[in-house]
């Protein structure tokens, strides 16, 4: 399931991480709450849309910052280039804490985010693009794979420039997957045209991939 919107505000790294964490907890809370209200049939339908299973927690979800940071990995694109190939990501410090918790390890050489624990994970892509001139239409696809098996596909259509059109595009994609401790998440980008001439760029400081342990 994809959620698409447009916005032109600039978000600092700390705020991006706050938004991701709070949004994830709220989403999970609403999902679990909906299960009690809608019944088992609706739960099965929702799970089918998510292409995964969401276990119902035995304890209430918490918004405690320590709990959140223990379960999250939040990495940002290394550069703004739209180019076919494997994507490189970077972690950063959030206060005195790394944006990649001890449940994960980001391998800079292989460009993979490695998981250290079995469980159900919420995978999330938040992509922000800016048109830097008279932009051409570009169709961009990012596939997140685990050991060559596709986990999440995020397809974005960046429009051709026209007078009066907003020059920013924001696109969000998410899913929930059951993953094992030997999982290695790798992101690959595909583009439909020569992106140097297209004049679109990825706002790497305002874009991210997030991973959150559900249970």
- pLDDT tens string, the chain, 215 residues long: the values are 443 333 333 344 555 555 555 555 555 544 444 443 434 444 344 444 443 333 333 344 444 444 456 788 999 999 999 999 999 999 888 677 788 999 999 999 999 999 999 999 999 999 999 999 999 999 999 999 999 999 999 999 999 988 877 789 999 999 999 999 999 999 999 998 877 788 999 999 899 999 999 87
Distances (CA, A) of 106 to 14, 42, 132, 186: 19, 36, 31, 10
Structure tokens at 202: 């990825």
Structure tokens at 89: 């990501």
Which of 176, 175, 6, 188 has the alpha carbon at shortest distance from 83? 188
Distances (CA, A) of 49 to 44, 45, 175: 9, 6, 9
Number of independent structural domains in the chain = 1
pLDDT of residue 52: 39
Q: Which residues of 165-199 are buried (b: 16+ CB within 10 A; e: fewer)?
A: eeeebbbbbbbbbebeeebbbbbebebeeebeebb
CATH number of the domain that residue 74 is part of = 2.60.120.40
pLDDT of residue 58: 37
Domain that holds residue 43: 2-213
pLDDT of residue 53: 37
- Helix and strand numbers (H, E) in the chain are 4, 15
């Amino acid at each position: 399931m994809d959620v698409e919107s447009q916005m032109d505000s600039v978000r600092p790294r700390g705020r991006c991480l706050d938004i991701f964490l709070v949004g994830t907890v709220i989403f999970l809370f609403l999902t679990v709450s909906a299960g009690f209200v809608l019944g088992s049939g609706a739960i099965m339908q929702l799970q089918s849309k998510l292409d995964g299973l969401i276990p119902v927690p035995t304890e209430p979800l918490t918004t405690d910052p320590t709990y959140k940071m223990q379960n999250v990995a939040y990495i940002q694109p290394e550069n703004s280039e739209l180019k076919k190939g494997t994507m490189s990501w970077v972690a950063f410090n959030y206060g005195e804490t790394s944006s990649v918790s001890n449940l994960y390890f980001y391998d800079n050489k292989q460009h993979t985010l490695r998981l250290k624990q079995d469980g159900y994970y919420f995978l999330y892509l938040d992509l922000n693009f800016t048109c830097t001139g008279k932009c051409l239409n570009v169709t961009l696809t990012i596939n997140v794979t685990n050991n060559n098996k596709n986990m999440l596909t995020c397809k974005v259509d960046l429009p051709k420039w026209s007078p009066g059109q907003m020059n920013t595009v924001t696109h969000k994609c998410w899913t929930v997957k059951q993953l094992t401790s030997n999982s290695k998440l790798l992101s690959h980008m595909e583009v439909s045209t020569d992106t140097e001439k297209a004049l679109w760029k990825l706002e790497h400081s305002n874009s991210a991939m997030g991973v959150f342990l559900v249970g």
